Amino acid sequence: MRGLETGRGSEVWSLMRQQEEDAERERECEREMAGEEENSEFYLRYYVGHKGKFGHEFLEFEFRPDGKLRYANNSNYKNDTIIRKEVYVTPAVVRECRRIISESESGNCDPEIMKEDDNNWPEPDRVGRQELEIVMGNEHISFTTSKIGSLVDVQSSNDPEGLRIFYYLVQDLKCFVFSLISLHFKIKPI
């Protein structure tokens, strides 16, 4: 036993203690998120659009506190009509949406996006605008920026790190919502 306290043994002991502390912090984080989810407000709205040759074209979705997911997609290309869908989602879906936001870039329960500031992001212009609003617990953030075509636009901005977090979070949220909408409205009941 005494050999564990000196030399290489103490390094192993220290590493094991660090792993135990990390695991306990992770469990505490999960408990906080679980308690916060059940007792706190959650709202998310995303909009991207522009006014151009085909009129006002946009994509918008919203997760409301009552569990309603609202989706709208308006493309006037070839006289397309607006697509509007509304569906109530389960608490598990809302938890997954919260998890996506909470783990945006940081990989832990301290959401990086809630710390960002859009003051140094590109202003909306003729190319279009994006808006993201999130309410989680007692935190409320709202961002407005121009449309982002690619990571090249992100890297050339005045705040590439913050805009990169926003860009990837928006990609994840859009993928999540598109999956929910397509699964819900394309599956034929038996």
pLDDT tens per residue, range 97-118: 999 998 886 555 666 888 899 9
Query: 112 and 30: one domain?
Result: no
pLDDT at position 3 over 50: no
End-to-end Cα distance, the chain: 65
CATH number at residue 107: 3.30.1560.10
Predicted local confidence at residue 129, as pLDDT: 96
Predicted local confidence at residue 93, as pLDDT: 95
Query: 60 and 8: one domain?
Result: no
CA distance 99 to 173: 11
- List strands edge to edge, sheet with 139-146: 83-88, 68-74, 55-63, 42-52, 129-136, 139-146
Predicted local confidence at residue 171, as pLDDT: 95
* Residue range(s) defining the domain that contains residue 14: 2-39
Domain count, the chain: 2
**Better-scored residue on pLDDT, 75 or 181:** 181
Nearest CA among 43, 37, 76 for reference residue 58: 76
Query: 69 and 24: one domain?
Result: no
Query: 134 and 99: one domain?
Result: yes
Residue 74 half-sphere exposure toward CB, CA atoms < 13 A: 15
pLDDT digits (tens, 9 = 90+) for 131-171: 999 999 999 999 999 999 888 989 999 999 999 999 999 99
